[in-house]
Structure 1
Amino acid sequence: MPQKLGYLKETPSQTAGPYVHIGLAPGAAGFEIYDQELGWDIAGPHAKGERIRVEGVVIDGIGSPIKDVLLEAWQANAAGVYSHPDRADELEEGFRGWGRVITDFDTGDWGFDTVKPGPVMGRNGQMMAPHINLWIVARGINVGLNTRLYFSDEAETNAQDPILNGIEWERRRDTLIAARAERDGQAVYRFDIRLQGEAETVFFDI
């Protein structure tokens, strides 16, 4: 006799495991399946705005870099417009606004090139500071983690951002700010993600 729905046991949780790269970034795992990896080109060659690089590591609770992480990024273009069929006329040719990268298996470093996004109008009519949305998954993470990357040189717009202002402690807000530097004439933003500990990155339940 079939069990009643109310008596069914919860399915055990399972982390992403080492095979996440084979399925989502096979080229990086040594499998030449696609001519072009899905999600590696965020902005495209025709996007307007400042070209930037974003780099970092994902750090565990004891301070060690995690070397098998996959990150996905979503962002608006320099005019603050997300890729959507209804707004295609406001987007540059080839702009996807979405990308996928994995960490270096030896060092744990990750990074991607894109354009700096502009301020975005939120659903409630409040302007949000320039930011990049990140989703993180790896072994040991049962549910993908969502966070945001803001820019250190956008202090004025950051101060008005409703999401940042919704974080009670200013010290916690700082975990979402990527530090700007210059390398060979290009802007490079450093954003290390800490999964646990005193300086744990703010993650969002969405």
Structure 2
Amino acid sequence: MVQPLGYLKESASQTAGPYVHIGCTPNFVGIHGIFEKDLGSGSLYNEQTRGTRITIRGTVFDGGGNPLKDALIEIWQADDAGFYNSPSETRGSADPNFIGWGRSPGDMETGEFVFETIKPGRVPFKDGRWMAPHVTFWIVARGINIGLHTRMYFPEETAANAEDPVLARIEHKNRIPTLIASKEGDSTYRFDIRLQGEGETVFFDI
């Protein structure tokens, strides 16, 4: 017999605390012997991966403009053809040589995170319209009760960004640039994330 579960209450949320790195990236904090390498660390591609290799660098800043040195960032994205490395991907086959997900702790001195990945292809929105190439970010750190979601778009994709249905939903258009990376050299993109204050990054409730 099915029993009602209405008496079960949601537990209170808590910040990630100083233990997030111990649990998620033990090698990074000097705890060795548990995993050969931290889950999600390293390059998202190998020698056989299709697509353009890129590097994403950035820093998470607090409301005072100070870098968060204990932030943990995860990304996930489509491959160069726009397919996700996921069991829920039903449109086609994703590149088996592309992981599609990565995790990077911020440098403990500078707060900078780094990802070695490829430039993603376009993927459809739920209504069939095409979204611009983008990378999804998830950020946790002390003081953040619930992980923050945002996106990084590419500055050279002007036409695709202009018709992206998610960017079109942002009411204050002057905030859209907070989601667009800047390019440094031929293959490096900088995407700084600001939690509060001037230039606050747009975050999504998903």
The answer for the alignment partner of 1:35 in structure 2 is 36
In 2, distance between residues paired with 1:117 and 1:92? Answer: 11
The answer for the alignment partner of 2:175 in structure 1 is 172
The answer for the alignment partner of 2:201 in structure 1 is 201
Query: How far is the alpha carbon of 1:8 from its aligned partner?
Result: 8.6
The answer for the alignment partner of 1:104 in structure 2 is 107
The answer for the alignment partner of 1:51 in structure 2 is 53
In 2, distance between residues paired with 1:117 and 1:17? Answer: 32
**Which string of whole-angstrom CA distances, capped at 9 and with x for unpartnered residues, describes residues 96-126 of structure 1?**
2011110001111111110000111122101
Aligned-residue sequence identity (percent) comes to 53
Question: Which amino acid is the alignment partner of residue 39 of structure 2?
Answer: L
The unaligned stretches of length 5 or more in structure 1 are none
In 2, distance between residues paired with 1:62 and 1:89? Answer: 45
Question: Structure 1 or 2: larger strand share?
Answer: 1
Q: Look up the SS of the partner of 1:42 in the other structure.
A: coil
RMSD value, Cα: 2.0
Q: Which of 53, 60, 63 is residue 61 of structure 1 equivalent to?
A: 63
Query: Which 10-residue stretch deviates more, 88-97 or 77-86?
Result: 88-97
| Aligned CA distance change for structure 1 residues 76 and 7 (closer, same or farther; 3 Å) | closer
Query: How far is the alpha carbon of 1:158 from its aligned partner?
Result: 0.4
Q: Is the 8 A contact 2:83 2:123 kept in 1?
A: yes
Question: Which amino acid is the alignment partner of residue 120 of structure 1?
Answer: V
Q: Look up the SS of the partner of 1:199 in the other structure.
A: coil
TM-score, normalized by length of structure 2? 0.90
Alignment partner of 1:141 is 2:144: yes
Q: Look up the SS of the partner of 2:166 in the other structure.
A: helix
Show the 5 A alignment for 1:1-16: 11-16=11-16
Q: Look up the SS of the partner of 2:174 in the other structure.
A: helix
Query: How far is the alpha carbon of 1:57 from its aligned partner?
Result: 0.4
Query: How far is the alpha carbon of 1:6 from its aligned partner?
Result: 8.3
In 2, distance between residues paired with 1:200 and 1:57? Answer: 13
